[in-house]
Amino acid sequence: MPNTTFKVTTTSLNEGFQVINKARGKAIVIDEPESFGGTDVGMSPVEALLAGLGSCKCIAGRIFAQKLNIKLHQIEVEVSGNLNTDGFLGDDSVKVGFTDIHAIYHIKADNTEEEINKFVDYVETHCPVGDTLLNPASISFATNVI
């Protein structure tokens, strides 16, 4: 499946800061917590980014476990990131996005610790979301006034 284009359409101007994201007939609501002016009906955009990264690592783990002879019973990835919201709110001396992101794998498998560590290394090098964060894609934009 080479050169596949993935597309999400995001619509705003719902209650508070809610946005509806649609792809392939599925929808996810992204919002902000009440403490940040939202209605708290969904994850914030930065939480969704972390969720996307953790989800990609889990899915890659499930896909590659058999290939790497990992007898996987459970995989959970806890992802956290540090972000100073002052940058987003206009303080030019502060980075706008995450300064660092950390992932902790919780794995239950019938394998040695060495085999599991090699497996995690493989997952890390084959996670498209992680690769995109480590090696940013070019981003472009256009405006269509309607």
Based on the fold, state whether residues 105 and 137 are members of the same structural domain: yes
Number of structural domains found in the chain: 2
Based on the fold, state whether residues 59 and 128 are members of the same structural domain: yes
Based on the fold, state whether residues 69 and 27 are members of the same structural domain: no
Based on the fold, state whether residues 111 and 136 are members of the same structural domain: yes
pLDDT computed for residue 16 by the predictor: 83
Based on the fold, state whether residues 81 and 139 are members of the same structural domain: yes
Based on the fold, state whether residues 31 and 14 are members of the same structural domain: yes
Based on the fold, state whether residues 133 and 81 are members of the same structural domain: yes
Based on the fold, state whether residues 50 and 38 are members of the same structural domain: no
pLDDT computed for residue 12 by the predictor: 85
Based on the fold, state whether residues 118 and 54 are members of the same structural domain: yes
- Domain with residue 115: its CATH number is 3.30.300.20
Check residue 112 and report its DSSP letter.
-
Instruction: Give the whole-angstrom CA distance, residue 47 versus residue 53.
Output: 10
Instruction: List the chain pLDDT tens, one digit each, 146 residues.
Output: 688 888 999 888 777 899 999 999 999 999 999 998 899 999 999 999 999 999 999 999 999 999 999 999 999 999 999 999 899 889 999 999 999 999 999 999 999 999 999 999 999 999 999 999 999 999 999 999 98
Instruction: Give the whole-angstrom CA distance, residue 18 versus residue 40.
Output: 8
Three-class SS of residue 64? helix
Place of tokens 């480590």: 134
Based on the fold, state whether residues 57 and 90 are members of the same structural domain: yes
Task: List the domain range (segments joined by +) for residue 14.
Answer: 1-42
3-state secondary structure the chain: CCCCCCCCEEECCCCCCCEEEEECCEEEEECCCHHHCCCCCCECHHHHHHHHHHHHHHHHHHHHHCCCCCCEEEEEEEEEEECCHHHHCCCCCCCCCCCEEEEEEEEEECCCHHHHHHHHHHHHHCCHHHHHHHCCCCCCCCCCCC
Based on the fold, state whether residues 25 and 52 are members of the same structural domain: no
Q: How far are the Cα atoms of 37, 54, 121 from residue 114, in angstroms, in the given order?
A: 46, 22, 11
Record the tokens describing residue 63, joined without a space.
């896909």
pLDDT computed for residue 1 by the predictor: 61
pLDDT computed for residue 6 by the predictor: 87
Based on the fold, state whether residues 63 and 48 are members of the same structural domain: yes
